[in-house]
Structure 1
Amino acid sequence: MAGRLPACVVDCGTGYTKLGYAGNTEPQFIMPSCIAIKESAKVGDQAQRRMMKGVDDLDFFIGDEAIDKPSYATKWPIRHGIVEDWDLMERFMEQIIFKYLRAEPEDHYFLLTEPPLNTPENREYTAEIMFESFNVPGLYIAVQAVLALAASWTSRQVGERTLTGTVIDSGDGVTHVIPVAEGYVIGSCIKHIPIAGRDITYFIQQLLREREVGIPPEQSLETAKAVKERFSYVCPDLVKEFNKYDTDGSKWIKQYTGVNAITKKEFTIDVGYERFLGPEIFFHPEFANPDFTQPISEVVDEVIQNCPIDVRRPLYKNVVLSGGSTMFRDFGRRLQRDLKRTVDARLKISEELSGGKLKVRV
């Protein structure tokens, strides 16, 4: 039966979980990776608490339903790409399979994803849950970067189908630069960048707070997230972009309208510099994190330079962007330009140091 029915594909990320069936062009569901549970930390009769716990085990919600339950405690079992609470993760998977996919797990093979540098213990826990709790007939756990490379084949820009390339995977909680050669991840060269979607949201929230635009305090994070997703883009030149807003603000400043959760009244804010300053922290990380100052283009260059010399050219040739935080307008164009400048500067220095004996061919 499992061979005849399509495999279930589940990609659990820090911020969102994507799920569906193999063979479809896009996921059937995209939902927040959170779970709402009743926290029964009451003082009282032990037996009553035990009985309550049995009922509470069935009383939980996941995804968008979880966010809409103010009387429940909302938990995020995945942090920075790694599962932190396995009990909650098992309950999360239970609802994914039975309520959303409406699948009988014994009849389907499963494809799950894992972040690069995932520990063998985490992989074992995942397999244990899938085989022992859900009794699945077959399971494959793939590295997200390899799947992203394979998915890039559907793009019109891809000439040849290759599993060699550099994957920049930036989600809500973590960003990795992963070199892949012939379908194998070069683990020793992976670099982690401590900037991702959530950091951009916090940075925009901070910018809006400093301007005191009149957002209800309890909704500032939600508003910053909406501003990021609707209006943000990557600019080619920071100084020119500031000038554009200063000379003709009405053309570039957008308006965001929200509803106050308590008074139910509408509030409107102007969104200006935040539109391009948010994603800019990928290229100027010191804006948001004083401990990390290396732009993403330099990290990509360093990763490829650390790889074996025979795969460097194909790694430069095929850079794949994956994850929600790479979807800002012109992100790829800016990265390509900055990466080319970094490489050209290094080659120019090599040429000068050789006294003209070395001619560089790009």
Structure 2
Amino acid sequence: MAGSLPPCVVDCGTGYTKLGYAGNTEPQFIIPSCIAIRESAKVVDQAQRRVLRGVDDLDFFIGDEAIDKPTYATKWPIRHGIIEDWDLMERFMEQVIFKYLRAEPEDHYFLMTEPPLNTPENREYLAEIMFESFSVPGLYIAVQAVLALAASWTSRQVGERTLTGIVIDSGDGVTHAIPVAEGYVIGSCIKHIPIAGRDITYFIQQLLREREAGIPPEQSLETAKAIKEKFCYICPDIVKEFAKYDVDPRKWIKQYTGINAINQKKFVIDVGYERFLGPEIFFHPEFANPDFMESISEVVDEVIQNCPIDVRRPLYKNVVLSGGSTMFRDFGRRLQRDLKRVVDARLKLSEELSGGRIKPKPVEVQVITHHMQRYAVWFGGSMLASTPEFLQVCHTKKDYEECGPSICRHNPVFGVMS
């Protein structure tokens, strides 16, 4: 039965979890990665809480239902891409499987995703939950960056498809620059960028708070988020952009209309410089975080320069964008331009230092944008889980019972990927 039904693909992110069946182009469900639990008045430790499990253990909500539950505590079990509360994660997965996917876990293989630099122990915990709590017949844990690279094949000719590239994965809680060579992540060169979707939302919220008095305080965050998703874009030159707005404000300033949740009255606010200043923090992070000064293009260049010399040119040639926070208009174009400038400046300097004797070969810089970008990780998982090789590389329940959870420490790159 298990081999005949489509595998389930679950991509758990900091802000949202994407889930559905392999073979589809988009996830069937996208739900907030949160869980609302009823917290008892007595404070008990984790061990005691496990012993006292009963009816309370079934009284919880996940996803959209978990938000704004007044008598419940809303928890987010994933922080910066890493699962931190395994008890809550098990309960979260229970509803993902039975309530959303409406699947019998014994009948479906599962592809789960993990962030770069996830610990082997975390893989073991996940294997324990999936095999022991849900009795799945097979499990494959895939690195998100490799799936994002596979998803970018939709925009390439068959002969150009490669699993060597650098993935800029930017979601709600974290942004990573992850170099991948032949399907294997170069772990020592990964860089974390402390700017992601949530930081842009907070930055826009701050800008609006300083200027717009009409926003209800309890709705300021969701208003900032709506403005970010509806109006924001990346500009080529921030100084010229300011001038554009000053010369013709009626053309560029947009209006956002919201409804006050308490008195149901409309409020209207002007959206001006926030449209380009919000996402600009990718290229000028000091606007929002004075401790971090490197722009995303400099980080990408630094990551590639730290990689082995023989993969650097293929990495520059295949910079792949993934995640909701890379969806701003012209993000790819600006990143390609800035990265090319950094690379060309280095080549020019080496030529000058050699007194003109060395003429470096130009480096081709290409940033790949494609229509599957927002859910690239999930779509890559869906593609690969629907290949015949997938069932052969999955760790099965039989393997798990023989060898224990340590078998899930290593998940081979397979099939069309190798």
Distance (whole Å) between structure 2 residues aligned to residue 208 and residue 53 of structure 1: 45
Q: Are residue 79 (structure 1) and residue 79 (structure 2) matched?
A: yes
- Equivalents in 1 of 2:317, 2:294: separation in Å? 22
Q: Deviations over 1:222-248 (max 9, x none)?
A: 111111111111000000100111111
TM-score by length of 2: 0.83
Structure 2: distance between partners of 1:51 and 1:326: 44
- Closer/same/farther in 2, CA of residues 131 and 354 from structure 1, 3 Å limit: same
- Distance in 1 of aligned mates of 2:214 and 2:56: 39
Give the distance between the partners of 2:145 and 2:61, measured in 1 at CA.
30
Judged with a 3 Å threshold, the aligned counterparts in structure 2 of structure 1 residues 67 and 247 are, in CA distance, closer, same or farther, namely same
Query: Shift of residue 334 of structure 1?
Result: 0.3
Change over 3 Å in CA distance of 1:307–1:50 after alignment to 2: closer
CA positional deviation for 1:52: 9.1
Report deviation, 1:70: 3.0
CA distance in 2, matches of 1:129, 1:287: 42
Contact kept? 1:80, 1:174, Cα under 8 Å: yes
Root-mean-square deviation over aligned CA pairs: 1.6
| Alpha-carbon distance change, 17 to 286 in structure 1, aligned in 2, over 3 angstroms | same
The Cα shift of 1:129 comes to 0.5
Match of 1:93 in 2: 93
Deviations 1:1-44 (A, max 9, x none): 1111110000000001000011111110111111111111259x
Residues in 2 aligned to 1:197 and 1:253: alpha-carbon distance in whole angstroms = 22
Ranges in structure 2 where 5+ consecutive residues have no aligned partner: 44-48, 363-418
Q: Determine if contact 1:40/1:53 at 8 Å carries over to the other structure.
A: no
Check 1:206–1:157 CA distance in 2 against 1; reply closer, same or farther (3 A cut): farther
Partner residue in 1 for 2:255: 255
1:113 paired to 2:113:
yes
SS of the equivalent of 2:310 reads helix
2:212–2:269: 8 Å Cα contact kept in structure 1?
no
Report the equivalent of 1:337. Answer: 337
| Paired residue type of 2:260 | N
Match of 1:62 in 2: 62
- The CA deviation at 1:345 is 0.5
Deviation at 1:73, TM superposition (A): 1.6
Residue type matched to 2:347 in 1? Answer: L
- Asked if the contact 1:152/1:158 (under 8 Å) is kept, the reply is no
Partner SS state of residue 128, structure 2: helix
CA deviations over 1:105-157 (Å, ceiling 9, x no partner): 01110000000000111111111100110011110100000000001111257
Give the aligned residue type for 2:259.
V
Aligned to 1:162: 162
Provide the secondary structure at the position in 2 that maps to 1:278.
helix
Which structure's relative contact order is higher, taking Cα pairs within 8 Å and 6+ residues apart? 2
Q: Aligned runs of 1:48-59 on 2, under 5 Å? A: 54-59=54-59
1:241 is matched with which residue? 241
Alpha-carbon distance between aligned partners in 2 of 1:158 and 1:247, rounded to the nearest angstrom: 48
Q: Distance in 1 between matches of 2:18 and 2:248?
A: 41
Q: Whole-Å Cα distance in 1 between the matches of residues 293 and 244 of structure 2?
A: 26
Change (3 A) 1:39 1:157: farther
Tell me the residue number matched to 2:410: none
Q: CA deviation at 1:57?
A: 1.2
C-alpha distance in 2 between matches for 1:72 and 1:222: 20
Tell whether the 8 Å contact from 2:110 to 2:139 is kept in structure 1 after alignment. yes
The farther-off stretch of 29-38 and 5-14 is: 29-38
Q: Following the alignment from structure 2 to structure 1, what is the Cα–Cα distance between the partners of residues 157 and 271?
A: 34
1:312-323 matches, within 5 Å, as 312-323=312-323
Q: Could you say which residue in structure 2 is the equivalent of 1:275?
A: 275
Structure 1's 114 and 133: CA in aligned 2 closer, same or farther, altered over 3 A?
A: same
Distance in 2 between residues matched to 1:162 and 1:84, nearest whole Å: 33
Question: 2:310 corresponds to which residue?
Answer: 310
Q: Does structure 2 conserve the Cα–Cα contact (< 8 Å) formed by 1:213 and 1:270?
A: no
Match of 2:405 in 1: none
Please tell me the residue identity of whatever aligns with 1:203: F
- Per the alignment, residue 46 of structure 1 pairs with none
Distance 2:54 2:268 in 1: 46
Cα distance, 1:69 vs structure 2: 2.4
The equivalent residue for 1:189 is: 189
Residues 50 and 239 of structure 1: is their aligned pair in 2 closer, same or farther, counting only changes over 3 Å?
closer
Q: Do residues 287 (structure 1) and 294 (structure 2) align?
A: no
